[in-house]
Structure 1
Amino acid sequence: MMQVFKEIEVADLASMLEDSDHGISLIDIRNPADATHESIPGAINVPMHQLPLEMKGLEPEHLVVLYCQIGQRSAQACAYLSASGFDNVHNLRGGIQAWKSSGLAMA
């Protein structure tokens, strides 16, 4: 199967988030316990199983970036959103682990 979403590197996401007018929907698809423990600043938590219900609230024209622990489940969620008509979906390569090991701020 062809990959229909893009991957975004931690450094690229970090610099995009520094722009206050970034228009990025950053979504943590991990379960609430993990998301509460540590997350990327500005992310909203939408557990993967709730994505079909919550995607109505997303702006299709915005860049949507999904992440999980290491990027595997979020890749599945990206494929789902892409198949549902979202054109600008990115998976954070390496997930929150990659963000954390880059030494970037955590919420």
Structure 2
Amino acid sequence: MKEYTTKKVEELLQSGVKLNLIDVREIKEVREGKIPGAVNIPLGQLEFRLKELEKEKEYVMVCRSGGRSGRAVQFLESYGYRAVNLAGGMLDWEGEVE
């Protein structure tokens, strides 16, 4: 499974790279703060919202610690999507939050 560190994602965002961030945490968790621009699709809803995603794009999956986002990456890859896990998740994130 492909993974990015939180530092790498922060550097990419700061340099102006457009990342497709999907936060798979529950809504109440996301209310506490998320990476700017991330779209919230709770892990339990991901299979029902696949039509919102495009197979040509790469998605960076985010959760609290990297476990749920890792499962999301495996799920998406099994359907032919390109996805990357944010290693360490929001616990390791030191960048801006909204």
The normalised TM-score by structure 2 is 0.91
For 2:97, the aligned partner's letter is M
Helix, strand or coil: the match of 2:31? helix
For 1:96, the aligned partner's letter is M
Displacement of 1:31: 0.5
1:58 and 1:32 mapped to 2: Cα distance? Answer: 19
Helix, strand or coil: the match of 1:66? strand
Equivalent residue for 2:14? 18
- My pick for the range that moved more, 10-19 or 38-47, is 10-19
Structure 1 unmatched runs, 5+: none
Helix, strand or coil: the match of 2:22? strand
Of 82, 85, 91, the match for 2:80: 85
1:19 and 1:85 mapped to 2: Cα distance? Answer: 29
Equivalent residue for 1:41? 36
Structure 2 unmatched runs, 5+: none
- The answer to whether residue 89 in structure 2 is matched with residue 105 in structure 1 is no
For 1:27, the aligned partner's letter is I
Equivalent pairs: percent with the same residue? 33
Q: How many residues align?
A: 98
CA RMSD of aligned residues (A): 1.3
For 1:72, the aligned partner's letter is G
Runs of 4+ aligned structure 1 residues displaced above 3 Å come to none
The normalised TM-score by structure 1 is 0.84
1:17 and 1:52 mapped to 2: Cα distance? Answer: 27
